[in-house]
Amino acid sequence: MLKNDIWILEQAQQGMISPFEASLIRKIQLSPQQTVPALSYGLSSYGYDIRLSPEEFLIFRHIPGTVVNPKAFSPENLERVDLKRDEYGDYFIIPANSYGLGVSLEKIQMPPNVTAICLGKSTYARVGLIANTTPLEASWCGAITLEFSNASSTDCRIYANEGVVQLLFFEGEPCNTTYSDRGGKYQNQAGKVTLPRV
């Protein structure tokens, strides 16, 4: 069953989402004198919009003669992107037809009978920025490494400290073995991008 805002709020009070916003935030304060519209984040009717951390964002770079291998991934295939700021807020730039990795500002602790699906926000989809759909399995915990593809032919901004993806929470019958029980390889991710593991 898809869980509603009442359930999400109750679970957040027990530590499922931290930091947590109990309402949908649509404006941010850039300075004492400046408030700007935001890509919304926080609690919605049947989900929770999480934010992109300003701490780290990496993009793939082309290295002639190399092939990216998920079984033997080289960090040399990635380069750090600088955080920028202007009157619209803090942002990173994803080059045209490129791919980037960021991390959620929020830390998540999934209950043992709930899995969340991470979906992109429509505002970004409308400019060609696609968030990869990923699950957060039962009892998974940590900061979420987020994957974004810029499908457009122009560079695109992605805003830090604002909403980038929505989590939808699905409760099921208790499982025999949770992600934590089996020692999942992406358990307890820190607030940095976690590279592919086998």
Residues serving a catalytic function are: 147
Strand 34-44 versus strand 156-159 pairing type? unpaired
Q: How many whole angstroms separate alpha carbon 131 and alpha carbon 119?
A: 7
Please count the residues of the chain.
Answer: 198
Tell which residue, 166, 119, 113, has the closest CA to residue 139. 113
Q: Determine the residue type at 41.
A: Y
Q: Which residues pair with 115 in a beta bridge?
A: 170
Q: How many whole angstroms separate alpha carbon 113 and alpha carbon 110?
A: 8
Contact 151, 132 (CB under 8 A): no
